[in-house]
């Protein structure tokens, strides 16, 4: 990976992670970029860093070498956000350099101690405070709590009008030769938009009200460049990722797109018999369907689909007097991600007592999802033709509701 210049006095250092689960849970089939930035005035600051996985901090140091910057010449380590995908490298940095000044929010300072045991010069900054690096370069700090953790701040370079917001405005997806939006083909723009949407749903989604507050807080500053902690740097059209994030945040309470996600689990194929009819009903109204079998589909993909869908169909049978457990666990996670106010429908098979519907109702109530369900279709064993026709009609009915909701905005 090569060091590149974002703009005069700001340099990007980056490392891709691949073939791992991010946060040890989220699949990243297209990898993920960890971005760090050097900002130079008379003094030099490094803003955020990389994780501590094997070889990753070393990638960062190699990129410092490329720009002839020794770790001893770094005056400030600015930790916008303490999650170890950005701060993990600090352990290895301390072996090279024991006496640096660390800057973080008041809450961030607590984690510098608890994560890294560092009791050197650690300075807490508040919203609106500045740091003068000399040579006309003054950094301004903005508190953007819960995007992604409570301690998060964004750093703004007043000279170049560059915003360095860490997780905010980031995406999944490794970054290679094209690192800036002005270098991307239209296909690459689409790729990073899809990666950003899934990243948002998987990582940032539950904090959507805080994303909206952060955008409001930042509205008063002129932003020419957005340089996030993950993904592409936006210097040609920063408004694109800003508006995308406003849109993603709005999906939390919906409506989202005119899409419907169909999730189904089926132990012996009886519940699965309802999938084709419900999809037929949905597609007869022209809505886009995202179809996922559980547990085969990765949770991150499912949550990405649900986030962008205004409607959800759940095909799930009863299992031991409750719901098929892997669907239950997934729906709990969807609830925790706060994909709220969806139009929804459930169908499924049972053998003896049933129980899937009761547990579904409990999960929805516990997570306060406010999903608006059509009347479910349950059948004992194999669905009859009457059941299948009713499922098809429910699919069509759901699609009509979704379209009406999206049209109303």
Binding interface with ligand FEO (CB under 6 A): 81, 83, 85-86, 148, 167, 229-230
Between residues 80 and 349, which has the closer beta carbon with respect to ligand FEO? 80
Task: For the CB of residue 286, give the shortest distance to ligand FEO in the complex, in Å.
Answer: 38
Task: For the CB of residue 112, give the shortest distance to ligand FEO in the complex, in Å.
Answer: 15
Task: For the CB of residue 164, give the shortest distance to ligand FEO in the complex, in Å.
Answer: 13
Helices and strands (DSSP H and E) totals, the chain:
12, 22
Task: For the CB of residue 163, give the shortest distance to ligand FEO in the complex, in Å.
Answer: 16
Q: What residues have CB less than 8 Å from 304, skipping those under 6 apart?
A: 197, 198, 201, 202
Contact criterion met (CB below 8 Å) for 201 and 303: yes
Which residue's entry shows tokens 């350099």? 97
Between residues 230 and 346, which has the closer beta carbon with respect to ligand FEO? 230
Between residues 114 and 380, which has the closer beta carbon with respect to ligand FEO? 114
Between residues 230 and 240, which has the closer beta carbon with respect to ligand FEO? 230
Task: For the CB of residue 228, give the shortest distance to ligand FEO in the complex, in Å.
Answer: 9
Task: For the CB of residue 169, give the shortest distance to ligand FEO in the complex, in Å.
Answer: 12
Between residues 83 and 259, which has the closer beta carbon with respect to ligand FEO? 83
Task: For the CB of residue 352, give the shortest distance to ligand FEO in the complex, in Å.
Answer: 45
The values of phi and psi at residue 292, to 5°, are -135, 125
Which helix (H) or strand (E) segment holds residue 61: the answer is helix 56-66
Q: How many other CB atoms sit within 10 Å of the CB of residue 280?
A: 15
Which residue's entry shows tokens 């429910």? 394
Task: For the CB of residue 211, give the shortest distance to ligand FEO in the complex, in Å.
Answer: 13
Q: What residues have CB less than 8 Å from 111, skipping those under 6 apart?
A: 82, 87, 104, 151
Nearest Cα residue to 345 out of 296, 255, 274: 274
Contact criterion met (CB below 8 Å) for 139 and 155: yes
Task: For the CB of residue 175, give the shortest distance to ligand FEO in the complex, in Å.
Answer: 14
The length of the chain in residues reads 409
Nearest Cα residue to 227 out of 35, 9, 8: 35
Q: Where are the beta strands (DSSP E) in 43-100?
A: 44-47, 76-78
Query: What is the bridge-based pairing of β-strands 153-157 and 137-143?
Result: antiparallel
Query: What is the bridge-based pairing of β-strands 318-319 and 372-373?
Result: unpaired
Between residues 60 and 327, which has the closer beta carbon with respect to ligand FEO? 60
Between residues 102 and 278, which has the closer beta carbon with respect to ligand FEO? 102
Between residues 27 and 138, which has the closer beta carbon with respect to ligand FEO? 27
Between residues 333 and 397, which has the closer beta carbon with respect to ligand FEO? 333
Q: Where are the alpha helices (DSSP H) in 284-324?
A: 299-308
Distance, in Å, from the CA atom of 115 to the CA atom of 86, rounded to the nearest integer, reads 12
End-to-end Cα spacing for the chain:
43
Beta bridge partners of 264: 293, 315
């Amino acid at each position: 990976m090569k060091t590149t210049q974002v703009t005069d006095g700001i340099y990007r250092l980056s490392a891709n992670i691949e073939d791992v689960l991010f946060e040890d849970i989220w699949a990243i089939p297209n990898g993920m970029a960890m971005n760090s930035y050097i900002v130079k005035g008379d003094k030099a600051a490094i803003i955020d860093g990389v994780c501590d996985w094997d070889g990753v901090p070393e990638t960062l140091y190699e990129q410092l070498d490329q720009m002839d910057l020794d770790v001893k010449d770094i005056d400030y380590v600015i930790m916008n956000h303490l999650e170890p995908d950005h701060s993990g490298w600090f352990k290895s940095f301390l072996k090279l350099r024991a006496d640096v000044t660390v800057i973080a929010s008041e809450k961030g300072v607590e984690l510098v101690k608890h994560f890294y045991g560092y009791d050197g010069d650690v300075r807490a900054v508040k919203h609106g405070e500045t740091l003068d690096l000399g040579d006309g370069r003054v950094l301004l700090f903005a508190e953007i709590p819960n995007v992604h953790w409570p301690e998060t701040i964004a750093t703004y370079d007043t000279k170049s009008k560059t915003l360095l917001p860490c997780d905010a405005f980031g995406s999944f997806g490794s970054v290679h030769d094209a690192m800036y939006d002005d270098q991307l083909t239209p296909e690459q723009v689409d790729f990073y938009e899809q990666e950003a949407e899934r990243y948002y749903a998987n990582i940032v989604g539950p904090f959507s009200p805080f994303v909206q507050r952060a955008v409001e807080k930042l509205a008063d500053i002129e932003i020419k460049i957005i340089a996030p902690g993950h993904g592409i740097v936006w210097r040609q059209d920063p408004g694109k990722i800003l508006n995308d994030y406003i849109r993603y945040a709005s999906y939390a309470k919906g409506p989202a797109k005119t899409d419907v996600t169909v999730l189904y689990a089926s132990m012996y194929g009886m519940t699965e018999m309802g999938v084709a009819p419900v999809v037929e009903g949905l597609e007869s109204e022209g809505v886009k369907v995202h179809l996922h079998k559980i547990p085969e589909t990765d949770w991150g993909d499912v949550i990405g689909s649900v986030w962008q869908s205004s409607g959800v169909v759940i095909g799930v049978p009863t299992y031991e007097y409750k719901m098929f457990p892997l669907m239950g666990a997934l729906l709990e996670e969807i609830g925790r991600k706060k994909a709220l106010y969806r139009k929804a429908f459930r169908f499924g098979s049972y053998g003896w007592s049933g129980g899937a519907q009761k547990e579904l109702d409990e999960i929805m109530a516990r997570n306060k999802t406010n999903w608006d369900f059509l009347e479910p279709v349950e059948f004992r064993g194999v669905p009859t033709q009457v059941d299948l026709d009713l499922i098809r009609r429910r699919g069509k009915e759901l699609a009509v509701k979704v379209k009406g909701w999206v049209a109303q905005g």
